[in-house]
A and B are shown apart, each in its own frame.
Chain A
Amino acid sequence: MKSAVIQLPGLNRDRDMIAALTKISGQAPVTVWQTETELPEVDLIVIPGGFSYGDYLRCGAIAARMPVMKAVAEKAAKGVLVIGVCNGFQILLEAGLLPGALMRNASLKFVCREVKLQVANANTAFTRAYAPGQIIRCPVAHHDGNFFAAPETLARIEGEGQVAFRYAEGTNPNGSINDIAGIVNGAGNVLGLMPHPENLVEAAHGGTDGRALFESVLGRAA
């Protein structure tokens, strides 16, 4: 599987993502800087987490207007798989590639802990290696992960099975509406999620529950 990791000033989880992708796919991803206007031919594009542009204006707002995001949007329109994790999720929302918005955590606190996630839709390109309804462990680390969508948008997301992951067992860390932790776009090729599956992919991490997300993609790309 060929993959690309987008890099922007302030993103700091790119190393973890590169390590996870390299370990699981057996091939190191290409890294692409924010000023690039074209992306190489890849099966998967990942926007990792961090604090792009210091979270100025709104989380992900400045990053979403950088040249590389136009290239990401063009690839996404052609059906290339795209994953945004944490700040990457915020960037995808700000770029209009996913519906809704992420707001300040209801607690107003930065949360850094492990949560439980339920695989709400195991029939996506990113979740097919999980069992439907499976509960997995996953770490979160964010200040603005409180998912919000207007009622009509939320009804569409829920009705079309676009919710990929939900916080489970009372572990919603941020006040997200309907416990939403991750969503896909209408076409099903763009995923955004607040938790960090790349940080739970080998025994040394204390668990491997995040691995199946990448293996789902690997299965499709193979």
Chain B
Amino acid sequence: MINLLRSEFFKLRTVRLNIWLPVGAVVALVVITGLVGLLSSDPQDFTNADLMGMIGAFSILVSMMIGVATSLGITSEFGHNTIRPTLAATPNRTMVFAAKAIVSVLFGLVVGAVAVTSSYIVGSVLLNGRDADVGLSGDDGSLASFFGVIVLAGLLALFGYGLGLLLRNAPAAVSIIILWPLLIEGILSGVLSVAGVEDPQKFLPYTSAFALVIPDPNDGPGGRISGGIFFGLVTLALVVGGMVVNNRRDV
């Protein structure tokens, strides 16, 4: 399994898109945080939660980009037919797909950690240099939000991989990653509301996961932990479904 993990990680880092996509997303988050730190009219009013709330909100886009990268990683295997030499080199498909899943999650966690750490440092240095007093605290949820960004990045990386594995089609997988929270869950929320379901957002997995990055978990539909677990289970189901289907399919 170690050989397989090394091989899959090597594959991931030897395709330029997998480098530039997350780098671009991280840089965008750092730049946005930096601009807020520089241009905020009342920096002294900025709290820990404000900074992490802002980083957390924009980090969702970073996580989506990570999901896009991991979905393209697996769909390109099918698109370029490199899945055939992959499975010829390692015939145990469950091992192959599990290794890819592990590498995807690690990739998401690392990029998420780099994104949140770098943007937090830039934001706090700039704001504190302008008489603000921001830091990370366990009391106001900013510390939890900090780690939530990393977890969401890992989950969305796995989500993208699972969708790609199930669909084996890059445009479809990427569209769903982007449109799911904006369109699919929007429609679903409306339908549930019309059906008389109280607080329908807590039944929407993607939206529930956003609670991970919100400093005040009460702002989220289902709370930080439950929202993360809900989305994690949906993601896991996608991956397991993709593995089961691909264990049977011809490649």
Q: Do A and B actually bind?
A: no
